[in-house]
Chains A and B, each alone.
Chain A
Amino acid sequence: MNGYDVVIGLEVHAQLLTESKVFCGCSTRSGLAPNTSTCPVCMGMPGALPVLNRKMVDYGIRLGLAVGSRIARTCIFARKNYFYPDLPKGYQITQYESPLCEGGSIDVETKEGVKKIGIIRIHMEEDAGKTIHDETAPYSYVDYNRAGVPLLEIVSEPGMTDTDQAVAYLRELRQILMYLGICDGSMEEGSLRCDANVSVKKEGSSRYGTRTELKNMNSFRNVQKALEFEIERHIQILESGGRVEQETMLWNPSKGVTVSMRSKEESHDYRYFPEPDLVPLRIDDAWIEDVRSTLPELPAERRARFRKRYGLPAYDTGVLTQSRELADYYEACVGMLDAPKEISNWIMTEVMRALNEQGISITDFKVMPEMLTGLIAMIGRGRISGSMAKEIFAEMASTGRSAEEIVSSRGVGQISDEETLKTVASRIIDANPDEARKYRSGKTGLLGFFVGQVMKATQGEANPKLASRIVKELLEE
């Protein structure tokens, strides 16, 4: 970029979908009244001790296996010491020297093709509470419901060379987490949080520039914009002969700028040391294999299979596999009706539009797979036209009624759709040129023959009066 190379690494925190917190039995549910999902352990009361929720380890191993990490056989928890009101114990239980997973990578689609972005480590830790500032009061509130909710921190290598790659990596990671069923992936609600380390260097140079850390980017858009802003800021500093300071920057989404949060000198000394209240965690082969056996098909695998098996273009597979549930929906449809491309088209357009309009996910969609394939089959049989099908679909999406029901309630089981009948009738006229010629030369008695053929082609479902009029019009035009 303008004579500079960009280096980006991401640190992603994924809140895990366990039922209970990582070191106590409190519920992880969000949206509860403040401080109601707390106990002596997650409140850091004197004398309370942590007990590890092994489900978190399962989930961590699941992600590690999905991205090809080495799973540690012995992993150790550590204390990260710092003072903040939302941190009940004055330290966070995390991992430092021996994390759960090391190594691995994620394949990311870039303009230049597929690129492997390396993973340095994945470790387990507990979340802090939430500080709520009341601007009108001289004090703040703290809600500890989130304190102790399990997190995985996924640290990438500084392997991304532009902002598109960073966003693509983040999207792919999010998709993997969601496919694995271990994180809901919501950046807006903070269950997926992304910090970035970014630096620039002279094009082709092997020496890294000074990096800054970016925080507070709670959407893909913000990640992209914040990184773009920060890269531009670095380049401008260097261009004007200045030096980039190593510091932590906060993205201000409303102003569209990054502002310094703390310099390197002000950075915390976290005084990490092994957590003496927890024993080293031993992970044996049986445990790992147990988790491996529960791994679902991952997004990249599913995309490849969709291309191969259903002959879909890359664009379609991308859209259809964006969530496991949508991909499952597609496959359920294909299982009932062998029309992979037609079904794909319907899902990518009408289904997606309806989901957006209703603001729901596919799992809450009223149109079940068999209902969608029922509709598409009716078009294939010529019973309804494409445009009528769209109308019927809209009604299906809002009422949850089947295409059959809607069509029969409208036309008492008869095809009364002019366009459909027109198509059928022209086909029949084209197929019987002699009769058509005879009719046009005066043998109008042949009308009955043509109407009969239309009735036959529609298995008797055409409205005979309408069919008769349409055939007449077509023959006489």
Chain B
Amino acid sequence: MLETARRYRKRKESPVEETRRLLDAIKRDTLNSFITIDEQGALLSARSAEDLLDREDAGVLAGIPVAVKDNICTCGVRTTCASEILADFVPAYDATVVKKLKDQGAVILGKTNLDEFAMGSTTTTSCFGPTRNPWDPSRTPGGSSGGSAAAVAAMLCAGALGSDTGGSIRMPASFCGITGLKPTYGSVSRYGLVAFASSLDQIGPMAATARDAAVLFDAIKGHDPLDSTSALHDYAPTDLEGIDLRGVRIGVPKDFFGPGLNPDVKSAVLSGIAELADMGAQVVDIRLPHVRYGVAVYYIVATAEASSNLARYDGVRYGMRSGESGGLRNMYLQTRSKGFGAEVKRRIMLGTYALSAGYYDAYYRKASQVRTLIADDFRAAFSLCDIIAGPTTPVTAFRLDEMVDDPLSIYLLDIYTIPANLAGLPALSIPCGFDSRGLPVGMQLMAPHFREDLLLGAGIAFQDRTGHHKVRP
């Protein structure tokens, strides 16, 4: 991204040329990383970016081609959430993040594939078919922001936006060997992000490098009066020079290195941590005793919120409508039965159950209490360290035909990423090595609220010393 910006300024390439090249590449894409290509819109933006560059009035994002996950609203360009129920939905407004990108001259190439309503970790539940991993097309790119991750890894765009509710940015970033940031809850506006679980959802950047991720993060972060959960934090621009890791305390939680962690992943992550130590960081052992309940808590809170958030897809005002001749009840039943896929229905049912009279206290209220305990664990841990490091996922990208039909084992893929969502913390996944098959491994760094500067700074410093992120599929 920064490289592209430099080439534009040296007149080695123009935004229109670059946009055309990528649009052609996307059309030839066999990974199915995009759902919708906005050729007209992209070329229009590219042309106005050229004017800005000619007048030397351009910000760093001017003419930079990016992709946007298809659960983020784009005015006039359909936003499907990879669901039949919204397959023809064209928003009348831009999400705040999209507006910010456009205002800064970015070129939005199109909308990327995802698990239906961002519910999943494999980008296989999309009604537009699965996305494939550029490192090995027989494998999953991870999910739910698998389309954005694959597009960045396959160099179909300079950067992309994803959304992360339980790991949906970091997990595919890890599987596709790119850098992905899940920002602090409240630091990036959710206005225009089609809600899955409102108290956990957060939009974030996905890019080839931590530096590019920082540029994108700086472009989208900040208070938004349209989002009441948006924080009033006064962010400084991220220092793209990186941070000096000397004296920085890296906490390593034993809880993230237990059974179920693939040995290849474990050794790559440990070597990544060793690299940080070589750079002067001080490694300390920490404990996060309650994170083992994270997945259980997550699947109550997230499904409960989802069951309510997805109630609006009823066939009345927009989106798919079916069975209207059979009366109101029939219309609801037919629309929602046909419009939603199996995983979405499963989560709506789980969440409806968790909120039902007589079960609320045992499930939702209890889960909210444990959520507080997990947040307390992190608070305690951050008194002992500045950054927490560990694996992003327990395994590397697996074959699509190896996928077992067992939702629970898929849910456990998010075991390391979920805690940051529950506690609202920022977390970054960066490439830290490869497994025995040559598939990328991601290392997750977590920091206290609003300390993205630490994560991105450490990521930049790490990538200035290592080459994992430069290896392309």
Contact = CB atoms under 8 A, between A and B. Distances in A.
Interface in A32-89: 40, 43-52, 79, 81, 83, 85, 88-89
A380 interface: no
Contacts of A88: 312, 317
A289 interface: no
Nearest to A41: B226
B84 interface: no
A273 B360 contact: yes
Contacts of B92: 40, 45
A49 B191 contact: yes
B228 A271 contact: no
A90 B355 CA distance: 15
Contacts of A51: 225-228
Given A277-B229, A279-B229, A47 B191 contact: yes
A43 B317 contact: yes
B423 interface: no
Interface residues of A, number: 30
A269 interface: yes
**Residue of A46, A50, A138, A276 ringed by the most chain B CB atoms within 10 A:** A46
A45 B318 contact: yes
B36 to A, nearest CB: 15
Given A276-B199, A278-B228, A279-B228, A40 B93 contact: yes
A346 interface: no
B356 A50 contact: no
Interface in A126-151: 138-139, 142
B89 interface: yes
A91 interface: yes
B314 A47 contact: no
Nearest to B315: A85
A83 B227 contact: no
Nearest to B301: A276
Nearest to A278: B228
A81 B227 contact: no
B320 interface: no
B311 A91 contact: yes
B357 A273 contact: no
Contact of B308 (A48, A50, A91): A91
Contacts of A46: 73, 79, 81, 86, 89, 91, 194-195, 312, 318
Nearest to A142: B316
A139 B315 CA distance: 13
B91 A45 contact: yes
A48 B228 contact: no
Interface string A428-471: 00000000000000000000000000000000000000000000
Nearest to A24: B226
Given A40-B92, A88-B317, A90-B311, A276 B356 contact: no
Interface residue SS majority, chain A: loop
A83 to B, nearest CB: 6
Nearest to B316: A85
Nearest to B352: A271
A48 B224 CA distance: 13
A44 B317 contact: yes
**Residue of B332, B355, B360 ringed by the most chain A CB atoms within 10 A:** B355
B391 interface: no
B364 interface: yes
A170 B305 CA distance: 37
Instruction: Determine the interface band of chain B, counting residues with CB < 8 A from chain A.
Output: 35 or more
A142 B317 CA distance: 9
B394 interface: no
A79 B308 contact: yes
Contacts of B72: 47
Nearest to B328: A85
B382 to A, nearest CB: 23
B425 interface: no
B48 interface: no
A88 B193 CA distance: 17
B304 interface: yes
Interface string B164-198: 00000000000000000000000000111111011
Contacts of B191: 47-49
**Residue of B305, B307, B316, B355 ringed by the most chain A CB atoms within 10 A:** B316
Contacts of B194: 46-47
A203 B439 CA distance: 81
Contact of B228 (A43, A49, A85, A139): A49
Contacts of A45: 91-93, 317-318
A282 to B, nearest CB: 13
A316 to B, nearest CB: 50
Contacts of A43: 317
Interface string B77-111: 00101000010010111010000000000000000
Interface string A158-189: 00000000000000000000000000000000
Interface in B338-366: 352, 355-357, 360, 364
A272 B356 CA distance: 8
A81 B95 contact: no
A158 to B, nearest CB: 22
A81 B316 CA distance: 16
A89 B313 CA distance: 8
A90 B308 contact: yes
B385 to A, nearest CB: 29
Contacts of A271: 307-308, 352, 355-357, 360
22 contacts: A45-B91, A46-B73, A46-B89, A46-B195, A46-B312, A47-B72, A47-B73, A47-B91, A49-B191, A49-B229, A51-B225, A51-B227, A83-B314, A83-B332, A88-B312, A89-B311, A89-B312, A91-B308, A269-B356, A271-B307, A276-B199, A277-B195
Given A90-B312, A277-B198, 18 more contacts: A43-B317, A44-B312, A44-B317, A45-B318, A46-B79, A46-B81, A46-B194, A47-B79, A47-B190, A51-B227, A81-B311, A83-B332, A85-B314, A89-B312, A90-B311, A273-B304, A273-B305, A279-B229
The 5 closest A-B pairs by CB, nearest first: A90-B311, A271-B355, A276-B198, A276-B199, A47-B192
